[in-house]
Structure 1
Amino acid sequence: MLSGCASVNLEQNLSSANAAASSFTDGQLTLARDQSERDTLRQRASDLLSKPLSQKDAVQLALVNSPSMQALVAQNWADASTAAQSGRIANPILSLERVRLGDETEIGRLLSFGLLDLLTLPTRKGIAEQRIKQTQLRLSSDVVDQVTQVRQAWVRAVAAQQTLTYTQQVFASAQASAELAKRMQSVGNFNKLDRARQQAFYADTATQLATAQHQVTAAREELVRLLGLDDNQAQQLKLPERLPTLPKEPLSPSDAGRQASKGRLDLQIAKADYDAAARTQGWNTITTFTDIELGVRRDSVFDAAENTHSTRRGFEISLQLPIFDWGGMRRDAMNAQTLAAANRLEATARAAGSNLRESYSAYRTAYDIARHHRDEVIPLRKTISEENQLRYNGMLISVFELLADSRDQVNSVMAALNAEQQFWQADAALQASLIGKPTSAGVSGGGAAAAEAGAGH
């Protein structure tokens, strides 16, 4: 009977989560339960921090180092254990009493247990197993969400570093223009209006530089928090100098559809919620009416005056009478919960395709924009820069026009970098959507325009 009760195996839960989200965890999701295991994970974290942290390594670092990730696993263990407990038999109750009346002493013993609990054990075990399955699926979903956040934060942190580098170049160019304009005005070769324009642009780029410096700090600290790094580990964190190159070809719609059809977590969770609600409703239909308790009694009576001893045996049944409460409200609540779960399942199924199409559109748009910058805009800007350099050498344009062109070229590179950042964030969001954890990834085509507006010359 005891072997028929629901139970929880943490290692099995972790294996299920690693299998369901293998492309996100790479089989590394674990829980450190003692100091030795924590030391092992910390050493793995140190090894990962000893070199520039790639996006894949950032995910592995979060899995082995983040207290938030460990809390997710531990909470899942607790939730699964609570679910398993609901499928177990309640302990029997032993009641003892001693009654003395004159020379007669009576000792009563009563062993009682819930008869309805025993009769519905197979049903409750099935419900408990369904709830355990729910906790396993939710763990996988939560881990996918955390990993996606890490991937996107890593992209923002690396892109912020690159942006700062180019912003410093624009600032240096603006600073040189402002200083040259000041000197030329002092000798009468530059009017006050043109000098003020150069100085105003220099002031604007100083503000942009300060903003870019803060963005580096903000993006890096966001990544530090998601990785769960302490102060010492944060100082060791090194990031690559640039984002990965764009893939040669984007993921095709057919490939995306095949990956998504392998089993979305959101649909599995909604289906598990509905199954659990339906099973619980059937069980509660019985338990809301009444409860039955069975007891086995053995009484011993001792008569000191006559020096006799007698024993009485029997049983008793306690039945809860549905007089004041027939359980109608509880049954209505269960009906409503099952109906809500059914509609959530239908809503999730209807939204799944829409979410995937939106995520793929954001991914493909970001890829096309990034490739356009790489293959069209940057080469054109390079050609313009080379031609302006020739014109400057031939004294056909001024140094200020040459500096302005240099700033335009740098701003084009920054716009291309912004497009690459949006692509890699959209890629992370698409991977989450394919497995059934939709994540927004806004795409903007105004990077180049914004960059050129910032040049303001």
Structure 2
Amino acid sequence: MTAAALPLALAACADTGLVQKASAPRAGYSLVSSGTQQATGAVGVWAQSAAEVAANETKARALVHGKTIGPDTAVQVALMNNRGLQAAYGDLGLSAADLWEVARGPVPTFGVTISGIGEVGLARSLEASVTGAILEAATAKPRRNIAETRFRQAQFAALGSTIALATETRQAWVDTVAAFEAAALIGRAQDTADAASELAVELGRTGAMSRSDQAREHAFTAELAAERADAKLEAQLAKEKLTRLMGLWGADIDYYVPNQLPGLPGRRPGRSDVERLTLEHRTDLAIGRLELEAVAQEYRLSGQTRMLSDVSIVAGATAERSGSPSSRTTEVSPVLEVTFEIPIYDTGSLIARRGEIEYMRAANDLAQKAVNARSEARSAHAAVTGKYNVAKHWRDAVLPLRRIIDEDALRSYNGMLISTFDLITDAREGLEAQLSTAEAKADYWRAEADMTAAIWGGSNGGSRE
């Protein structure tokens, strides 16, 4: 082996196709992009320069500024403008860089040694050598396999982070609109109560209403004012969370949400194949399966290299000059050295035991995740169907009855058949029924968002506390 042959041999270890794949500007993002669109309907964006970030901010501003936005718009803006998600994509980029490095193969080192400086004429000898690690060259393929497995795990982790943000943003939109809807319901009730309170004052002046009845009217109005202020604050805070998830600030926060949530769908929701979809699409299960593969690969690599500890090869040539200045000759001698360290004991049994335990731990962890995923899918399905039934019952059964009661109570009060206290009690119960109906509708839409998290994986995992 010559000094020139070793670099060529080491260069042959490089995987050109894998290098091209890993060195792409957005290596691995195609899986994230397609999975995001399938799960959320939104388009994922990975900005990698200041110009791209500025372009995304401009697009986000055009989508929301001065407009009333729906949940799909909120999710799209979050995926293109949330800087925390962009930072998470950095992990995918780093994993691609690790794969790129491994795919290039071991890098030889070149060294030159000159001896005899100071003697008459040129140096007495010149030694050039190229050093490369046998261990790296011998295990190039399995190490590439491991790096590629870790890279695929990073892809699914990035997809999971994207879907988690989309789910959280959709739920934040639901919370915001539900809070504004509740504030509006209380506001309408307060307007009616204010008019009744003013009438009570006039009736009190004429002696047609007792002092205690006037106090009840005023107390009811004051309580509604406090509840309305609290509802407005809750709506403001909910909108601020939505703004934060969309990555908006400054003048870009000038946007609106609808006054109320969409009505219930006409058809009962639910998916009979939710468990199958969950096992197919859950990102945490995909990562767990790849972890099993990685453990097995690393275990085989450890067994392969345990007797090749710190082995390196040195190949090169030595050029030595001899003789008088007038008849000097140069003799070139090839150099080939191998150095290694021998383990002081055989670690084969230890490595095998460690590999078995590591593999079984990963296998049991994956099995439990699969059990949990199935359960979360069933829970999400039960929640979305159950919340739909509850909301439909409030809308179709409870609320119409409360309206009949309120109308009859007002007629009876105008006919002086019931007291002010009875009217206020009925009004309070009517408002609570309206608020409960609105909250039940919001719970249904939250359950819809949780269904996505259960199938694809996300922060809530199908279970909302």
TM range (shorter): 0.7 to 0.9
Residue 151 of structure 1 and its aligned partner are, at CA, apart by 0.5
Letter in structure 2 aligned against 1:23: Q
Q: Does residue 227 of the first structure (1) align with residue 242 of the second (2)?
A: no
CA separation in 1, counterparts of 2:42 and 2:383?
29
Partner of 2:268: 250
Superposition map of 1:243-322 within 5 A: 243-257=261-275, 259-260=277-278, 262-289=280-307, 290-303=309-322, 305=324, 307-322=328-343
Partner of 1:85: 101
Q: Does residue 440 of the first structure (1) align with residue 459 of the second (2)?
A: no
Range 384-393 or range 181-190, more displaced: 181-190
Residue 72 of structure 1 and its aligned partner are, at CA, apart by 2.2
CA separation in 2, counterparts of 1:349 and 1:334?
22
CA separation in 1, counterparts of 2:280 and 2:319?
67
Change (3 A) 1:4 1:388: closer
1:374 aligned residue (392, 395, 410): 395
Partner of 2:449: 428
Partner of 2:3: none
CA separation in 1, counterparts of 2:319 and 2:289?
56
CA contact (8 A) 1:114 1:293 kept: yes
1:67 aligned residue (67, 77, 83): 83
Partner of 1:419: 440
2:143 aligned residue (124, 127, 133): 124
In structure 1, the residue corresponding to 2:397 is in which secondary structure? helix
CA separation in 1, counterparts of 2:354 and 2:130?
34
In structure 2, the residue corresponding to 1:64 is in which secondary structure? helix
Change (3 A) 1:26 1:14: farther
Residue 173 of structure 1 and its aligned partner are, at CA, apart by 4.0
Provide TM-score, normalisation by structure 2: 0.86
Range 210-219 or range 407-416, more displaced: 407-416
CA separation in 2, counterparts of 1:186 and 1:86?
90
Superposition map of 1:17-166 within 5 A: 17-26=32-41, 28-50=43-65, 51-100=67-116, 105-166=124-185
Residue 23 of structure 1 and its aligned partner are, at CA, apart by 3.2
Residue 323 of structure 1 and its aligned partner are, at CA, apart by 2.2
Q: Does residue 355 of the first structure (1) align with residue 376 of the second (2)?
A: yes
User: Unaligned regions of 5+ residues in structure 2, if any?
Assistant: 1-11
Residue 353 of structure 1 and its aligned partner are, at CA, apart by 1.3
2:233 aligned residue (205, 210, 214): 214
CA contact (8 A) 1:97 1:109 kept: yes
User: Unaligned regions of 5+ residues in structure 1, if any?
Assistant: 443-457
CA contact (8 A) 1:58 1:154 kept: yes
CA contact (8 A) 1:148 1:432 kept: yes
In structure 1, the residue corresponding to 2:266 is in which secondary structure? coil
CA contact (8 A) 2:277 2:455 kept: yes
CA contact (8 A) 1:168 1:209 kept: yes
Partner of 1:390: 411
Change (3 A) 1:369 1:42: same
CA separation in 2, counterparts of 1:241 and 1:210?
17
Letter in structure 2 aligned against 1:13: G
Partner of 1:13: 28
Letter in structure 2 aligned against 1:42: E
CA contact (8 A) 2:42 2:76 kept: no
CA separation in 1, counterparts of 2:340 and 2:17?
26
Change (3 A) 1:427 1:64: same
Partner of 2:8: none
CA contact (8 A) 2:63 2:77 kept: yes
CA contact (8 A) 1:302 1:308 kept: yes
CA contact (8 A) 1:111 1:295 kept: yes
Deviation sequence 1:124-143 (CA, Å, 0-9, x none): 11111111111111111111
In structure 2, the residue corresponding to 1:21 is in which secondary structure? helix
CA separation in 2, counterparts of 1:225 and 1:179?
42
Change (3 A) 1:389 1:192: closer
Residue 206 of structure 1 and its aligned partner are, at CA, apart by 3.0
Letter in structure 2 aligned against 1:317: V
Residue 204 of structure 1 and its aligned partner are, at CA, apart by 3.0
Residue 430 of structure 1 and its aligned partner are, at CA, apart by 1.0
CA separation in 2, counterparts of 1:257 and 1:106?
74
Deviation sequence 1:405-446 (CA, Å, 0-9, x none): 34432321111110111111111001210224413224xxxx
Letter in structure 1 aligned against 2:278: A
Residue 230 of structure 1 and its aligned partner are, at CA, apart by 1.6
CA contact (8 A) 2:37 2:44 kept: no
Deviation sequence 1:329-362 (CA, Å, 0-9, x none): 7666554432321111111122221111111122
Provide TM-score, normalisation by structure 1: 0.87
State the number of aligned residues: 441
In structure 1, the residue corresponding to 2:363 is in which secondary structure? helix
In structure 1, the residue corresponding to 2:281 is in which secondary structure? coil
Range 195-204 or range 75-84, more displaced: 195-204
CA separation in 2, counterparts of 1:407 and 1:271?
55
CA separation in 1, counterparts of 2:100 and 2:41?
28
Residue 68 of structure 1 and its aligned partner are, at CA, apart by 1.9
CA separation in 2, counterparts of 1:137 and 1:399?
63
CA contact (8 A) 1:25 1:60 kept: no
In structure 2, the residue corresponding to 1:91 is in which secondary structure? coil
Q: Does residue 340 of the first structure (1) align with residue 356 of the second (2)?
A: no
Deviation sequence 1:220-276 (CA, Å, 0-9, x none): 0000010000211112x1211211111112233425345435433222111011111
Residue 401 of structure 1 and its aligned partner are, at CA, apart by 4.2
CA contact (8 A) 1:73 1:139 kept: yes
CA contact (8 A) 2:114 2:125 kept: yes
Change (3 A) 1:238 1:216: same
Letter in structure 1 aligned against 2:387: A
CA separation in 2, counterparts of 1:395 and 1:424?
43
Identity of aligned residues (%): 27
